[in-house]
Amino acid sequence: MNYIDTEERPWGSYFVIHDEKNYKIKRIEVKIGQRLSYQYHNKRSEVWTIISGQAQVTLNGTKDIYNEGDTVIIPVGTKHRVKNIGQKKLIFIEVQTGTYFGEDDIVRIQDDYKRI
């Protein structure tokens, strides 16, 4: 598949599948045992669909387990984090909707990689 953009991160990588004015779609891959920043966004909401692996998702301080086929809804302003707790790479599709999708709309609260 040809991706619009790809980025490597300490926790894994993401691939931009589609980027339009009012939405963006990404494929996100998280290495075993790794997790993204605890963060929120001011200008976008997100919906994650787990397509491979097992995730621990934190939403506003509450942790739940999500498996293949499960969907996570993250409204604008919701503090969130995902961790790969499975034995294989965690892969999910992220659909962003809102008014702005730049990486500078990430407000990090806590980060394992000192990116605050």
CATH code of the domain covering residue 96: 2.60.120.10
In angstroms, the CA 66 to CA 72 distance is 8
| pLDDT value at residue 44 | 98
Mean pLDDT over 4-25 rounds to 95
- Sheet containing 44-52, strands listed edge to edge, beginning at the edge strand earlier in sequence: 5-9, 12-19, 23-30, 90-98, 44-52, 71-74
Is residue 27 one of the residues assigned to a domain? yes
Rounded mean pLDDT of the chain? 96
Residue position matching structure tokens 């702005």? 100
103 lies in a domain?
A: yes
Task: Determine, yes or no, domain membership for 115.
Answer: no
Query: What residues make up the domain containing 13?
Result: 5-110
Specify if 11 maps to a domain.
yes
- In the chain, the number of structural domains is 1
Asked whether residue 75 carries a pLDDT value surpassing 80, the answer given is yes
* Over residues 92-111, mean pLDDT: 96
The pTM of the full predicted model, rounded to 2 decimals, is: 0.94
Residue 41 lies in a domain: yes
Q: Is residue 20 part of a domain?
A: yes
The answer to the question of residue 73 being in a domain is yes
Q: What is the pLDDT of residue 1?
A: 75
pLDDT range class, residue 3, cuts 50, 70, 90:
confident
Residue 116 lies in a domain: no
